[in-house]
Amino acid sequence: MEKILTSLGLGPKEQKIYTLILERAKIAPATLSRLSGINRTTVYSVLKELLGKGLVIEDLGGKTLYYSPAPAESIARIIEQEKKKLTEREGVYTQLQEFLKTLPGSKHFSIPKIRFVEGSDIEKYLYEATPRWNESSLQNNPTWWGYQDHDFVEKYRDWIVWFWDQAPEPINLKLFSNDSEIESQMAGEQIDRREVRFWDGDNDFTGSQWIVGAYIIMIVTSQKPAYLVEIHDSVMAHNMREVFKRMWR
């Protein structure tokens, strides 16, 4: 009984009063106060709560006010009322859910999420995250933009080859990279959708950054400890993508 009453949301005092009403079948507030050790003012307050929940009924037929448990058929009506309330609340929550789904896509509202991946876990994470990145890319912009340290290519060439074996159309890549032997070798792979331009600058890149759909991915492998940082922020990704588009032109 205690477990049932707790599930119904009854507190300790409500449980004590209701249990006494169940045991006595018909009982006055004064008696409830004496048996429970709860002052009479609080007893009346608890009885009002139990009445509101439909668990007890008042007997106003005599000079003395008595309380009794609500009959089984009354509980059945409560069940139907609760079902109706639940259905109504479900409809409201469904409307709220649909509204919230529209927010992340707004250009004026973004909830950034950040993940940090340590060096030993980077390769595994690349394989695990690729489907999610590709999906976001197809939804926002099919081109992976950014720049890349050639050290990344040396360490994760197998992942790059695997990526292009499974990358769906029309995903493509436009990156700036360091003029290096490994990039010349990658050119021999003849991956049509992977376009790399050598960075015409005084210093080489020492890290990689990709703009993929609603993601910004930053990777440092040329120093220890290596790390990957993934930022899921549609607003920042959009703005940075526009910068790389202009640089590419």
pLDDT class of 185 with cuts at 50, 70, 90: confident
The answer to whether residues 130 and 221 belong to one domain is yes
The answer to whether residues 163 and 217 belong to one domain is yes
A 10 A CB-CB count for 203 gives: 7
The answer to whether residues 30 and 141 belong to one domain is no
Distance CA 180, CA 199 (A): 11
The answer to whether residues 35 and 125 belong to one domain is no
98 lies in some domain: no
Whether pLDDT at 28 is above 60: yes
What residue numbers bound the domain in which 194 lies?
Answer: 113-248
pLDDT class of 32 with cuts at 50, 70, 90: very high
Nearest to 67 by CA among 82, 42, 81, 46: 46
Distance CA 39, CA 96 (A): 44
**pLDDT single digits (tens) 41-65:** 999 999 999 988 888 989 877 788 8
> Distance of alpha carbon 242 from its chain centroid, rounded?
28
Higher pLDDT: 98 or 195? It is: 195
90 lies in some domain: no
The answer to whether residues 136 and 58 belong to one domain is no
The predicted structure's pLDDT at residue 7: 80
121 lies in some domain: yes
Whether pLDDT at 202 is above 80: no
> Are the CB atoms for 117 and 125 separated by under 8 Å?
yes
- For residue 149, give both structure tokens: 């340290």
145 lies in some domain: yes
The answer to whether residues 241 and 128 belong to one domain is yes
CATH number at residue 56: 1.10.10.10
The predicted structure's pLDDT at residue 99: 79
The predicted structure's pLDDT at residue 36: 92
Going by their DSSP bridges, the two strands 143-148 and 208-212 should be labelled as: antiparallel
**DSSP 3-state of 62:** coil
The answer to whether residues 138 and 223 belong to one domain is yes
The answer to whether residues 131 and 201 belong to one domain is yes
81 lies in some domain: no
Whether pLDDT at 101 is above 90: no
103 lies in some domain: no
A 10 A CB-CB count for 216 gives: 22
- Evaluate the omega torsion of the peptide bond into residue 69 and state whether it is cis, within 30 degrees of 0: no
The predicted structure's pLDDT at residue 189: 74
pLDDT class of 109 with cuts at 50, 70, 90: low
Higher pLDDT: 244 or 59? It is: 244
Residue type, 19: T
- Domain end, chosen from 35, 70, 105, is at 70
The answer to whether residues 139 and 235 belong to one domain is yes
The predicted structure's pLDDT at residue 104: 57
The predicted structure's pLDDT at residue 128: 96
Domain count within the chain = 2
The answer to whether residues 54 and 123 belong to one domain is no
CATH number at residue 207: 3.30.870.10
pLDDT class of 1 with cuts at 50, 70, 90: confident
